């Protein structure tokens, strides 16, 4: 059998160049093809110049030395002579290499096979040559990676002028040119030729000319001084004209899909044709390299081919408008069904388009790029569809934590509702947008959006909608540390859901209320609210809601020093989120568990759990969550004496919070850093870190946090012998904790204050402060704190005796 190598790829990808290069390299090896090479271009994609198999055989016979006058009269006889001449050549001179360029259809290439022998055939085609008559190897050529594409342009410029420095002078513009050419060698060659022909054209100007999609194909058109054309558009046109009219039509319709790729189902909606017929057409276009299969049932254009397909369309034609409406409706209907599955609780019925929640989630994962693009486009041409799409996506985008997408979709959905004059829809869009704004830390805007949503729902008498908006308002106010307002908003939400009998909504609102109550230090009420929230979610089978409530319950239990209960609540929450596949909230639950373990003095376990949480957030790309985990990990590392590690993670946490704009938690990271620095005797650095943290807490209005940092600052000041300053900040800390009703931390502040007073010989005051601390710890049942305060009291009294003696 003759060995055949078939090279295929899209127009302009460099098949012929590669084949000729390979042929020359092969001929350089004298013993490979001693009989030489035969070359013919079949022009298989040109209507006027296309060679028939017989015309190609006549040309090849001429190359073999047969005069046209001596050719046999019939095609059959000429084909027999062709095989005979090749066999004779093989016997006399050895094997030859046949290079057959632009073969289409495959049957034309079949007819040129030389029969048995040692000859080899190298074919190129824009189609995948899968004919059984062409045995051998298939090599699919793809576009160039960025590095090679860049090198191609640089080589072209320096070959024309060794001193041309535009590529090195403007690397960003060069990268843009490469991107706009899509790595297609033909487009890159044209861009390079334009730059060579116009020496005063800067790389930035070339990039700017290619940036506009509507005119990019026109820019990629070059004619030399002899009038020879090098252009992308005609190359694509030749490929498309080789397709039946039905497939040409499908090719154009695919450009109406708004997103980066298209599924077979979406293509069926565009074509309004039977699924089998559409699938057959897609496969034919893929074989012609006019589209490519990215995975089973998904297809995409090369960027330049998409522009070419779009340029052939007239969007205002009835056929195009109808196809566009069909594909947008396909995305809306399917997204709506997927959303029902994502929100469904046990016992709920969901449409059978999907068999499970996981299947619905997988569809959304695959289509998210198309859905975001479809929402933006629909908002302009079909506002009601755009609004529906935006609302259908919110649960998914929240679950996957794609907040930038959610923000974009939410803004588009609001615009669509306003365009359609749909006030109720506007309320829904504002409520969804408010959550997205909160998650990207645009809190003022989030509060404003939720207030507007609540007002609209109130206007329409939609009590459940108003309750949901008030709950989201409370969550946004919490992030702004406006805790009393948050408590009020959440209480209103709870009352509304109780009034309407919406138990599930009541549970969600109680969870938010529990967080708000905790922040205003009403811990027992917070515990009660979170327990109720967890029970209600459990009643409805809402595992995610139950996990969230248990996590918040654990935090509230910590504040009332019920450590073992807090540990259990966090462990249960982590298990739920692990089972439901919610990595982000699993990380949060582990973070809370680490804090609880630390408070229970199970420090090694706290370090281990803290590391797990940090890894989860890092893998998820959640910088804020990673900062939370690192900060708490640092505190645990201090407790086990790993001070250098604690210094490192404390710094990293502070940097992360500074980057994401969370000033309050930046302060917490600085506290961790300050404590670790103090433990290794770097007192001046510790003082600086604590002072920065104190400023941050003061700016945030966090009196309790300010008290904690002042207490730690006092300890650092004692380390450098600045006792009077330590006494001053220690007193401030004790007052803050007394006002807040935090007896435990008041006791710690008084104990530290006693040490500072002893440092300047004020022993009576020092003894009094330490005794107050002992009494407080004894009253609260804090045996560890009491023991530390008694030790401090003994030290103060010993110093007093020493001075007196």
Average pLDDT across the chain, whole number? 90
- Packing angle between helix 763-780 and helix 783-804, nearest 10 degrees? 160
Residue where a domain terminates, one of 116, 140, 164: 140
Residue where a domain terminates, one of 188, 209, 234: 234
Q: Answer whether residue 1 shows pLDDT above 60.
A: no
Least confident of 201-205, 248-252, 315-319: 315-319
Q: Which CATH number is 759's domain given?
A: 1.25.40.10
Residue 57 located in a structural domain: yes
Residue 721 located in a structural domain: yes
Q: How confident is the model at residue 194 (pLDDT cuts 50, 70, 90)?
A: very high
182 and 157 in a common domain: yes
Summarize pLDDT for 695-744 with one digit per residue, the tens.
Answer: 988 887 888 888 888 988 988 898 888 989 889 988 998 998 888 788 88
CA distance 97 to 123: 11
User: What pLDDT is recorded for position 423?
Assistant: 94
Segment 32-49 shows an average pLDDT of 87
CA distance 643 to 571: 27
254 and 292 in a common domain: yes
Residue 229 located in a structural domain: yes
User: What pLDDT is recorded for position 665?
Assistant: 86
Q: Which CATH number is 290's domain given?
A: 1.10.10.10
796 and 718 in a common domain: yes
CA distance 678 to 687: 8
39 and 116 in a common domain: yes
Return the number of other C-beta atoms located less than 10 Å from residue 676's C-beta: 27
Token pair for residue 763?
A: 């022993």
Question: How are the residues of the chain apportioned to helix, strand and coil, as percentages rounded to the nearest 5?
Answer: 70, 5, 20
The fraction of the chain above a pLDDT of 70, given in percent, is 98
Q: Answer whether residue 685 shows pLDDT above 70.
A: yes
97 and 133 in a common domain: yes
Q: How confident is the model at residue 796 (pLDDT cuts 50, 70, 90)?
A: confident
CA distances from 579 to 466, 544, 572, 585, 620 (A): 32, 10, 11, 11, 17
Q: Answer whether residue 39 shows pLDDT above 80.
A: yes
Select the more confidently predicted residue: 444 or 665. 444
Q: Answer whether residue 117 shows pLDDT above 70.
A: no
User: What pLDDT is recorded for position 621?
Assistant: 84
For residue 124, the cross-strand partners are 7
Query: Do the beta carbons of residue 9 and residue 140 sit within 8 Å?
Result: yes
Going along 273-314, which residue ranges are E strands?
Answer: 292-295, 298-300
218 and 154 in a common domain: yes
Q: How confident is the model at residue 255 (pLDDT cuts 50, 70, 90)?
A: very high
CA distances from 366 to 14, 259, 662 (A): 32, 11, 33
184 and 154 in a common domain: yes
Residue 686 located in a structural domain: no
Residue 196 located in a structural domain: yes
285 and 195 in a common domain: no
Q: How confident is the model at residue 281 (pLDDT cuts 50, 70, 90)?
A: very high
Residue 512 located in a structural domain: no
Q: How confident is the model at residue 394 (pLDDT cuts 50, 70, 90)?
A: very high
pTM, full prediction: 0.76
User: What pLDDT is recorded for position 773?
Assistant: 87
User: What pLDDT is recorded for position 704?
Assistant: 83
159 and 116 in a common domain: no
98 and 156 in a common domain: no
180 and 71 in a common domain: no
Summarize pLDDT for 45-99 with one digit per residue, the tens.
Answer: 887 778 888 999 999 999 988 888 888 999 999 999 998 998 898 888 889 999 9
Q: How confident is the model at residue 481 (pLDDT cuts 50, 70, 90)?
A: confident
Query: Do the beta carbons of residue 459 and residue 466 sit within 8 Å?
Result: no
Segment 502-524 shows an average pLDDT of 92
Residue where a domain terminates, one of 418, 440, 462: 440
Segment 149-168 shows an average pLDDT of 92
Residue 192 located in a structural domain: yes
Summarize pLDDT for 586-606 with one digit per residue, the tens.
Answer: 999 999 999 999 989 999 999
> What range defines the domain where residue 425 resides?
328-337+354-440
Select the more confidently predicted residue: 118 or 468. 468
User: What pLDDT is recorded for position 128?
Assistant: 83
Q: Answer whether residue 798 shows pLDDT above 90.
A: no
Name the domain count of the chain: 5
User: What pLDDT is recorded for position 2?
Assistant: 58
User: What pLDDT is recorded for position 138?
Assistant: 84
Summarize pLDDT for 742-787 with one digit per residue, the tens.
Answer: 888 888 888 888 888 888 888 888 889 889 988 988 888 778 778 8
Strands 229-231 and 221-223: antiparallel
The fraction of the chain above a pLDDT of 90, given in percent, is 54
Residue 603 located in a structural domain: no
163 and 229 in a common domain: yes
Q: How confident is the model at residue 132 (pLDDT cuts 50, 70, 90)?
A: low
């Amino acid at each position: 059998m003759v060995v055949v190598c078939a090279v295929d790829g899209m127009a302009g990808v460099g098949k012929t160049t590669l084949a000729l290069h390979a042929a020359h390299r092969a001929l350089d090896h004298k013993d490979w093809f001693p009989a030489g090479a035969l070359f013919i271009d079949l022009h298989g994609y040109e209507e006027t110049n296309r060679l028939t198999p017989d015309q190609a055989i006549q040309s090849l016979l001429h190359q073999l030395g047969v005069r046209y006058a001596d050719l046999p009269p019939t095609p059959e006889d000429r084909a027999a002579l062709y095989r005979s001449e090749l066999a004779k050549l093989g016997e006399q001179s050895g094997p030859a290499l046949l290079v057959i360029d632009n073969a289409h259809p495959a049957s034309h290439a079949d007819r040129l096979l030389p029969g048995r022998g040692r000859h080899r055939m190298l074919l190129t085609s824009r189609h995948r040559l899968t004919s059984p008559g062409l045995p051998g190897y298939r090599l699919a050529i793809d576009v160039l990676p960025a590095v090679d594409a860049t090198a191609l342009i640089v080589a072209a410029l320096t070959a024309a002028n060794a001193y041309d420095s535009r590529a090195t002078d403007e690397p960003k513009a060069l990268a843009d040119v490469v991107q706009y050419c899509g790595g297609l060698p033909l487009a890159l060659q044209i861009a390079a030729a334009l730059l060579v022909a116009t020496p005063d054209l800067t790389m930035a100007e070339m990039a700017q000319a290619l940036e506009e999609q509507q005119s990019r194909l026109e820019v990629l058109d070059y004619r030399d001084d002899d009038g020879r054309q090098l252009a992308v558009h005609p190359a694509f046109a030749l490929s498309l004209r080789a397709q039946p009219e039905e497939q040409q039509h499908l090719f154009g319709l695919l450009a109406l899909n708004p997103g980066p790729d298209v599924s077979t189902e979406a293509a069926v909606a565009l074509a309004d044709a039977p699924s089998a017929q559409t699938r057959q057409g897609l496969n034919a276009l893929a074989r012609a390299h006019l589209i490519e299969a990215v995975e089973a049932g998904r297809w995409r254009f090369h960027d330049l081919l998409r522009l070419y397909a779009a340029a052939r369309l007239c969007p205002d034609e009835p056929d195009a408008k109808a196809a566009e409406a069909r594909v947008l409706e396909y995305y809306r209907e399917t997204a709506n069904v997927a959303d029902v599955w994502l929100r469904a609780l046990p016992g709920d019925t969901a449409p059978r388009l999907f068999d499970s929640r996981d299947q619905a989630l997988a569809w959304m994962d695959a289509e998210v790029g198309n859905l975001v693009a479809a929402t933006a486009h629909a908002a302009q041409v079909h506002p009601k569809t755009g609004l529906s799409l935006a609302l259908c996506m919110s649960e998914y985008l929240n679950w996957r934590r794609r907040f930038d997408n959610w923000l974009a979709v939410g803004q588009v959905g609001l615009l669509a509702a306003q365009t359609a004059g749909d006030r109720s829809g506007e309320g829904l869009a504002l409520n969804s947008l408010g959550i997205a704004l909160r998650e990207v830390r645009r809190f003022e805007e989030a509060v404003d959006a939720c207030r507007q949503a609540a007002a609209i729902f109130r206007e329409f008498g939609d009590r459940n909608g108003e309750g949901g908006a008030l709950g989201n308002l409370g969550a946004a106010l919490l992030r702004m540390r406006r805790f009393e307002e948050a408590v009020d908003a959440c209480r209103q939400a709870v009352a509304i859901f109780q009034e309407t009998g919406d138990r599930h909504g009541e549970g969600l609102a109680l969870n938010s209320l529990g967080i708000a109550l905790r922040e205003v230090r009403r811990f027992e009420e917070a515990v009660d609210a979170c327990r109720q929230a967890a029970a209600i979610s459990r009643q409805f089978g809402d595992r995610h809601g139950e996990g969230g409530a248990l996590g918040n319950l654990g935090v509230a239990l910590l504040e009332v020093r019920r450590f073992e209960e807090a540990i259990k609540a966090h462990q249960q929450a982590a298990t739920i989120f692990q089972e439901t596949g919610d990595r982000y909230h699993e990380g949060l639950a582990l973070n809370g568990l680490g804090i609880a373990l630390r408070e229970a003095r199970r420090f090694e376990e706290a370090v281990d759990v803290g590391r797990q949480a940090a890894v989860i957030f890092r893998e998820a790309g959640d910088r804020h969550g990673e900062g939370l985990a690192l900060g708490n990990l640092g505190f645990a590392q201090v407790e086990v004496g790993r001070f250098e590690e604690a210094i490192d993670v404390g710094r990293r946490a502070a940097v992360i919070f500074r980057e994401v704009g969370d000033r309050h938690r930046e302060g917490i990271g600085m506290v961790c850093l300050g404590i670790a620095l103090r433990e290794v005797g770097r007192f001046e650095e510790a003082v600086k870190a604590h002072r920065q943290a104190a400023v941050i807490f003061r700016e945030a209005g966090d009196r309790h946090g300010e008290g904690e940092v002042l207490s730690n600052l006092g300890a650092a000041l004692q380390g450098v012998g600045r006792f009077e300053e330590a006494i001053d900040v220690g007193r401030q800390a004790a007052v803050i904790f007394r006002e807040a009703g935090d007896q435990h931390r008041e006791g710690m502040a008084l104990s530290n204050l006693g040490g500072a007073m002893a440092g300047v010989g004020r022993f009576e005051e020092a003894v009094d402060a330490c005794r107050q601390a002992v009494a407080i710890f004894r009253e609260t049942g804090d045996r560890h704190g009491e023991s530390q305060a008694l030790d401090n009291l003994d030290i103060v009294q010993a110093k007093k005796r020493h001075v007196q003696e």
